[in-house]
């Protein structure tokens, strides 16, 4: 079940901004689990805004409150570009379930969207320590590494 969930994550990773610059609107991919109506971005760092979607019935945790907080955070990140609020949800979920690898990945996505790349990478590393070899997390990490290096000018 856990592997299936992360396969879904890797398939459903959305790269909303692919040009590497700030745009006044976001574009999404269509299909099951994808956000269909994003709001304008408040992103100011010049990096891509990324999101991940996880079907609610495939979130593997025995803590319903942590699951609900994860879903709330994913909604803030994908629908409203409310990244700080998303991080608050993920932090609360992680207080309940510290080994919740999906929440660590999602927190990394929100931190990436705020341009806090080093912190995002720490979250991805934590998620990978909980779910080694997960390709979805590796893909998120690679996107963050690319954006961090591009914005540093190296």
> Could you read off the pLDDT tens digit of each residue along the chain, which spans 154 residues?
555 444 444 434 433 333 233 332 232 323 333 333 333 334 445 678 998 888 878 788 999 999 999 999 999 998 878 999 999 999 999 999 999 999 999 999 999 999 999 999 999 999 999 999 889 999 999 999 999 999 888 5
Q: What is the pLDDT of residue 120?
A: 98
Provide the terminal-to-terminal Cα distance of the chain, rounded to the nearest Å. 40
Q: Are 66 and 96 in contact (CB under 8 A)?
A: yes
Residue 140 burial class via C-beta count within 10 angstroms: exposed 0-12, middle 13-18, buried 19 and up:
buried
The set of residues, in sequence order, having a beta carbon less than 8 Å from that of 56 and lying 6+ positions away, is 67, 71
Q: What is the pLDDT of residue 42?
A: 41
Q: What is the pLDDT of residue 132?
A: 94
Determine if the pTM surpasses 0.85: no
CATH among 1.25.40.10, 1.20.1260.10, 3.40.30.10, 1.10.1050.10 for 2-152: 1.25.40.10
* Domain ranges for the chain: 2-152
Q: What is the pLDDT of residue 110?
A: 97
């Amino acid at each position: 079940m856990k592997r299936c969930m992360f396969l879904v994550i890797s398939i459903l990773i959305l790269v909303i901004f692919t040009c590497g610059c700030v745009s006044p609107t976001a574009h999404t991919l269509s299909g099951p689990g994808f956000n269909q109506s994003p709001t304008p971005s408040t992103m100011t760092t010049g990096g891509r805004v990324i999101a991940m979607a996880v079907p609610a019935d495939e979130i593997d945790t025995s803590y319903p409150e942590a699951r609900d907080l994860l879903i709330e955070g994913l909604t803030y990140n994908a629908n409203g570009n409310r990244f700080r609020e998303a991080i608050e949800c993920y932090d609360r979920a992680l207080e309940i379930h510290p080994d919740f690898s999906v929440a660590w990945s999602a927190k990394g996505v929100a931190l990436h969207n705020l341009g806090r790349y080093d912190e995002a990478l720490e979250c991805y590393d934590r998620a990978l320590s909980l779910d080694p070899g997960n390709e979805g997390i590796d893909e998120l990490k690679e996107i963050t590494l690319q954006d961090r290096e591009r914005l540093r000018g190296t």
